Structure 1
Amino acid sequence: MKNMSKGTELSKGLYGGILDIDNAGFSAGVELLNFIYGVPEDKMLSPSTAPAPIKHGHHQARQLAYGLDGIKDRTGQIQNLRNMLQGESAEVVLGKLFASLQIQPPNVKRTTDSGWTRKPFFPFTSSLIHWDIKKSNENVERVWMRGGGALLHKILRDDPNSSRLENIRTGFKNLYTVAGGSALDRLSKFFRSESPRVEADKPDEIESSSRANIDNFEDVYRDGLLNILEHKKLTTVGKVEALVNWSAIWLSIMQYRRSCSEVENKLLSPIVCDCATSATSIRRLARRQFQNAFSIIQKAIDTHNKDKFSEIKAGQKNRIRGFFPSTASAVGLLNAYTGNRYFTLKVNALETIVAALVPATEEMPFAEFVDQILYLNLGIVVSRGAAKSAGLLDDYDGTIFEENEKGLATQMKAAGLLTTYSDATQMISFRR
């Protein structure tokens, strides 16, 4: 790829695609949907054809969400928009509506005025899917969607399991059938059609140069995505939310796992999550585990192909490393973006993992969830059994993991994800 920065090359060499603090959080999932729905249906997730998606800016709706009074009218477009609305009331109502549909970027303070181009819409309907807008010239081009979604798209379309790929493709084709034609869909479709868009004349270079089938952990992402798309208990919005969150969870854990493979000769250090109902020694361990994970990622970035990337500045490396805590905190795997950080499992993370990895048509024993789904599939330690398998009981008292497991059960029960039956059997299922 022409003009590829050394930092971009380094990220692709380590992780298969571009991970950067700018595309942290939910950007990858939103970018993925741009690739899925930006091409004709017969080209969706084509293994043989690199995508050249249409990229919509959604300028008008995003300007309304920000507030037209705060935008400099460079070309008369704001006045044209006001003329079209024919009244201040419509401007106010539509502005509040579209503002309620936006995603708060994980590394931007809510009190910061980041301008009208920074916050994307959550893709509740297919007509809310849009690309980045560059602030300086208001052109439709990459700014925050740096390539995390491109990597996910490459992983999906290069699936060696053709049956699973076809089922995923069918799931995406059916995803928005219920929401399509709704009042919100018609409204957002109108404003999107009135805004600039870019029709590519060649395949997306970042997607084409991303690498798939690096390890078996990619199958965990594919299986989870298919389970979400085929879920019978999830609404369209629920599926889209789970899809976006699952993409972020998988990418953050993948970054850590592949960093471990780089520096520890494929030895994966477990992710210990604090799920206890009060601050205990498990929290101190979860804090140390985060610090260890962060240092492993830094070491992998510092040592990967060192001769080739020796001149990369620390700031560029920190952008790659920053993807991990920014994304993990956004999806509930980390307690906070800054400060005294430790691994945890917040409700949004638990809901997403259950939607992705627990079979949609049946219940799963709680013990199987913590030992099979969390530990074997994702490398997350909560229970005593998982701690034993990870070799942690040689250094830590097993009772802290027992209390941790109880805390997780309490949290999942409160969230409606766990049911306790009269014989004390605990079962996991998605009941939204």
Structure 2
Amino acid sequence: MADRSKAEVVLRLFGVNLEQQGRGFYIPLEMLAIARGVYLAHQEDPAKFAGLLDSGTNPAYKRTSHDLARRIATKAHIVEGNKELGKAVELDSTETMETLHALFSSLLVEIPGRRSQPSWFGAHIYPFVGELIHYDAVERRIKRSDASSKKSAKKQKQAGKVDAGYKAPSIERYLFRDGGSWAYKVLRSDSNLDRKEATRQGLRNLVQDSGTPLGNLAKALSAHDFDYDEAPVEGSDTGIKLHEDLSPWPDLLREGVRNIVARTATVPRAKRTESLMHWVPYCLARHQLQLARRKLDASDRESILLDFGNEATPLRRESQKNLTGFRNDIVNAINVQAREMIHEAEVAGDEVRKRRYERFAKEAGSAVASPRAFFSETLAAVGALNATVGRRHFTMKPPMLECLVSATVPQGTETEFDQFCTLLYEKYGLVVENKVAASSPLAHEVDPSFLDHNGKAFREKLAAIGLLTQYSDATSMIRGEPR
């Protein structure tokens, strides 16, 4: 009952289910799985199924589990009560299995903060090529009757070796929690048709078959997955609300994604994918914060102080204070939303709903921990915080910094350093150096000398990753892709 109340309150406030379990990289993994599935369904029957980013009805998409490759990657390729699946698909050579394990274990998405090796269904493959993109899956107990009545001929052959009551892979949502559905809906509802078409073309380039040796190997292994979709399934994003009237982040997501995926001629596919993997969750976390502050009627625009120094300074302490305050904003906004829903139920005379929300409000301390963790752990995962635990502050690690520049600077253009810093503040509320800080509430919180030093450190980091070119002492230019 409490979980249901929490889900309803969170959904009303943020327009999408935001839980710790679906944080970080699970958001773009889900979005790319939907995009890939829509592309495959449309290729299979263009007359019946909508194309990539088409608006209108709920998208139908095919789902690939890649359960065999993921079990090989984690050395969990034995189905309980079954022979080693490697033998079933003629991969009984120890040397072959070790080679495949070494390859696919190196392709697993790193989840910051993990302390132990996950089960195979907790491990996801980095979507470097279209054939590697997959949906979520988990282990479920199956019965022989289920295997014979519901499985295809191929699945019957595999499931027939499994005794009743044993576990086997089932393709379904487990770690995906609708963050990717939110992102895909944002992109497919873009009213800027030129931008949408550019995004469609760039996204198609990422999710279609690559035809590379790695892609061909992934496709060959997926043909032996225990579970997969024989026909497209219809997703539903009708319950997801974008709240574009309250937050600029849906449109900032669209603009950034277009800038990232359009670089087909200048940036390798793997680098475009990496930037997309960082930009999408970053935008959703910032969207969450924006909606929370709007719920609290915060009059000031949030200013996020990025610390690029190597030592503790008053600037870093202010950034830490920044983060703590924003996490509290999310908690307080959820509590305000709950009280509003109690009042609505009271006005409607719905005593059952009223009592349910009242119980949620009393237990809100533990109930809001997961949505609050979604915000900070998502930012930590993509490198927008310095660490996943301990004393944390806002920063940008190299992959996130590359992503930020790629999302902000259009293809084929350059931006002067000072202009870029101003742009970061005007678009995203990011404060890096002294000139920008003078325009924000932080001007009275941090000594200008620390901000000046921080700006120089920021310049050096951009130069180190090849995104800034120093033409003279007075002129530094930033490009959206390394030279």
TM-score by length of 1: 0.92
Corresponding residue to 1:191 among 206, 221, 224:
221
Q: Quote the offset at 1:288 in angstroms.
A: 0.8
Q: Quote the offset at 1:124 in angstroms.
A: 0.9
Closer, same or farther: CA 384–199 of 1 in aligned 2, 3 Å: farther
Q: Quote the offset at 1:153 in angstroms.
A: 0.8
Corresponding residue to 2:108 among 85, 102, 107:
102
Rounded to whole Å, the distance in 1 between the matches of 2:35 and 2:275 is 16
Q: Residue 53 of structure 1 aligns to which amino acid in structure 2? A: Y
2:199 matched to 1:168? Answer: yes
Rounded to whole Å, the distance in 2 between the matches of 1:81 and 1:413 is 51
Stretch moving more, 17-26 or 314-323: 314-323
Name 1:327's counterpart in structure 2. 378
**Which runs of 5 or more structure 2 residues have no equivalent in the other structure?**
43-49, 142-168, 343-356
**Which runs of 5 or more structure 1 residues have no equivalent in the other structure?**
none
Corresponding residue to 1:84 among 67, 84, 90:
90
Stretch moving more, 28-37 or 189-198: 189-198
Corresponding residue to 1:126 among 124, 130, 151:
130
Instruction: Judge conservation of contact 1:53–1:199 (CA < 8 Å) in 2.
Output: no
Give 1:211-222 correspondences, 5 Å limit: 211-212=241-242, 213-214=244-245, 215-222=247-254
Q: Residue 382 of structure 1 aligns to which amino acid in structure 2? A: V
Name 2:402's counterpart in structure 1. 351
TM-score by length of 2: 0.83
Name 1:234's counterpart in structure 2. 267
Name 1:378's counterpart in structure 2. 428
Rounded to whole Å, the distance in 1 between the matches of 2:376 and 2:272 is 24
Q: Quote the offset at 1:136 in angstroms.
A: 4.3
Q: Residue 299 of structure 1 aligns to which amino acid in structure 2? A: N
Q: 1:48-70: CA deviations, max 9, x gaps?
A: 121122121111111110114xx
Give 1:413-432 correspondences, 5 Å limit: 413-429=463-479, 430-431=481-482
Q: 1:74-111: CA deviations, max 9, x gaps?
A: 252624546511311111101111111101223422xx
Name 1:409's counterpart in structure 2. 459
Name 1:153's counterpart in structure 2. 184
Closer, same or farther: CA 115–370 of 1 in aligned 2, 3 Å: same
Other structure's SS at 1:393 match:
helix
Q: Quote the offset at 1:11 in angstroms.
A: 2.4
Larger radius of gyration: 2
Name 1:62's counterpart in structure 2. 70
Name 1:20's counterpart in structure 2. 19
Other structure's SS at 2:312 match:
coil
Q: Residue 55 of structure 2 aligns to which amino acid in structure 1? A: P
Q: 1:362-408: CA deviations, max 9, x gaps?
A: 21111111111x21111111122221211222343222211111111
Corresponding residue to 2:315 among 269, 277, 282:
282
Name 1:37's counterpart in structure 2. 36
Closer, same or farther: CA 216–263 of 1 in aligned 2, 3 Å: same
Name 1:394's counterpart in structure 2. 444
Rounded to whole Å, the distance in 1 between the matches of 2:75 and 2:416 is 50
Q: 1:218-250: CA deviations, max 9, x gaps?
A: 111101100111114211111111111110111
Q: Quote the offset at 1:311 in angstroms.
A: 2.9
Aligned-residue RMSD, C-alpha: 2.1
Closer, same or farther: CA 136–268 of 1 in aligned 2, 3 Å: farther
Closer, same or farther: CA 186–287 of 1 in aligned 2, 3 Å: same
Closer, same or farther: CA 82–88 of 1 in aligned 2, 3 Å: farther
Closer, same or farther: CA 77–161 of 1 in aligned 2, 3 Å: farther
Closer, same or farther: CA 337–305 of 1 in aligned 2, 3 Å: same
Q: Quote the offset at 1:200 in angstroms.
A: 6.6
Stretch moving more, 298-307 or 121-130: 298-307
Instruction: Judge conservation of contact 2:296–2:329 (CA < 8 Å) in 1.
Output: yes
Q: Quote the offset at 1:431 in angstroms.
A: 0.6
Rounded to whole Å, the distance in 1 between the matches of 2:358 and 2:200 is 41
Rounded to whole Å, the distance in 1 between the matches of 2:428 and 2:444 is 22
Other structure's SS at 1:197 match:
coil
Corresponding residue to 1:50 among 50, 55, 58:
58
2:418 matched to 1:367? Answer: yes
Closer, same or farther: CA 189–332 of 1 in aligned 2, 3 Å: same
Q: Residue 47 of structure 1 aligns to which amino acid in structure 2? A: S
Q: 1:263-312: CA deviations, max 9, x gaps?
A: 13453221111112432211111111111111111111222142444433
Closer, same or farther: CA 81–210 of 1 in aligned 2, 3 Å: farther
Other structure's SS at 1:63 match:
helix
Closer, same or farther: CA 194–282 of 1 in aligned 2, 3 Å: same
Instruction: Judge conservation of contact 1:261–1:268 (CA < 8 Å) in 2.
Output: no
Other structure's SS at 1:389 match:
coil
Rounded to whole Å, the distance in 2 between the matches of 1:77 and 1:342 is 49
Give 1:255-294 correspondences, 5 Å limit: 255-265=288-298, 267-294=300-327
Name 1:311's counterpart in structure 2. 359
Instruction: Judge conservation of contact 2:256–2:407 (CA < 8 Å) in 1.
Output: yes
Q: Residue 14 of structure 2 aligns to which amino acid in structure 1? A: Y
Rounded to whole Å, the distance in 1 between the matches of 2:78 and 2:84 is 8
Q: 1:203-231: CA deviations, max 9, x gaps?
A: 323x2311123433211110110011111
